[in-house]
Homo-oligomer: A and B are copies of this chain.
């Protein structure tokens, strides 16, 4: 016998009973949960829920699913949220007032660390930096590293399959996860918290949930891979005469350093000039006269002296082959941090310069030079004077290929008027080079329409079938990633 729960107030009372009055927020300023990080969208939540345990998450989902079953016209749904640092409006509510923000932030326990197995089991709400520090305290490396690490959560990293600066060696978040605990759209708890490196017992549910942006299930905990801490991590900075040269340098470094190469970032001259302009106290080496600079990181399990000699060997060969015109190796941790700070200041300097149209694209590494050349030319032809802020994770073929208004043109006007055309031009070009319109940030609600346009219809059809199979009520983060036509 189903007793219909027709009243939204009754649902809210049930939710208060499950997570506690103090953790069901409906009044006051909810901006921290309702607005996305880039402030592109400010929605209206039915409530913000802050459960403390997997069991509470499961009961919340069951209550909402039952409410939907009893109220077929209801559009109540659940938006899982971590640190709310996403860049594609995937974790904040729409303006319907019907979406429950389910914040995982209170679930922030490290459940365990298995040194001999090189794994750590953690809850979804753990802050990334806390996990890096916890691993390091035990003598291990958790390599995921990205700009928002001080406030993003591992649940969000998993939900979006976050990338960052260490992907060239360690892969994306997907590659760092062995097992998951997930609350399904039915409110069941799947304990898939495996610490196994090999397990071929059925379909890869783990990787289906990773990167699904909370649309298929709610990740509540994960078992993550750890690595031994290297004996030394060195950073170098090289001026390169072209992107072709940068690609050649990458190949050389990969051959000579193997998986010692843990970072390879490229930065265009205009991007660096913005840093020099807006952060004049930073010392930028070797960038004048160089179309691109490259930041390299070498992690070594032997010693700092060995890391240094290996780096010198690579850079000497690169100078000889002409793929580097000049280079420096940081001689202290302080110097290394200063070099990374330049790289990390680019988005901030760009913001100082004014609004801009951001892209997060990838193409095969071999296609990077030709992609940039031809796309630069197209953009300059259509938008004379346009300024291109080009930087990113060249080792992964991932560029933040951003478009800034011509000098003297109002940046907000340019964004408003040209964003769609700029996006179309860039994404069409990406598609010609068999690339991705979203390399590491995901789809969220911001790129749903673009995905419909650029993704293979057969892939989209399979995605819809899977969404319908796992979440037939369309209860979890609807209209994100892929829109389901009929429900």
Contact = CB atoms under 8 A, between A and B. Distances in A.
A258 to B, nearest CB: 4
A288 B310 CA distance: 41
Contacts of A228: 251, 254-255, 258
A190 interface: yes
Given A207-B207, A366-B117, A469-B469, A188 B393 contact: no
Interface stretch (A127-135, A194-202, A383-391): A194-202
A460 B203 CA distance: 9
Interface stretch (A101-109, A343-351, A430-438): A430-438
A466 B228 CA distance: 37
Chain A interface SS verdict (over half): mixed
Interface in A415-447: 434-443, 447
A363 interface: yes
Contacts of A485: none
A247 B116 contact: yes
Nearest to A139: B255
A163 B198 contact: yes
A458 B190 contact: yes
B256 A200 contact: no
Contact of A451 (B119, B202, B208, B302): B202
B198 A439 contact: yes
A382 interface: no
Interface string A158-190: 001101000110011011000000001000111
B257 A301 contact: yes
A247 B116 CA distance: 7
Interface residues of A, number: 95
B202 A167 contact: no
A191 B115 CA distance: 41
Interface stretch (A210-218, A234-242, A278-286): A210-218
A77 interface: no
A116 B365 contact: yes
A32 B413 CA distance: 69
Most chain B CB neighbours (cut-off 10 Å) among A208, A210, A250: A208
A69 to B, nearest CB: 17
A117 B364 contact: yes
10 contacts: A115-B366, A167-B198, A184-B458, A189-B458, A203-B211, A205-B459, A208-B466, A258-B259, A462-B470, A466-B466
A466 B463 CA distance: 10
The 6 closest A-B pairs by CB, nearest first: A258-B301, A116-B366, A469-B469, A207-B207, A199-B436, A198-B439
Given A161-B200, A190-B462, A198-B440, 8 more contacts: A116-B364, A172-B198, A194-B434, A194-B436, A196-B435, A200-B440, A201-B438, A205-B463
Interface string A362-382: 111111000000000000000
A255 B299 CA distance: 12
Given A204-B174, A481-B203, A256 B195 contact: no
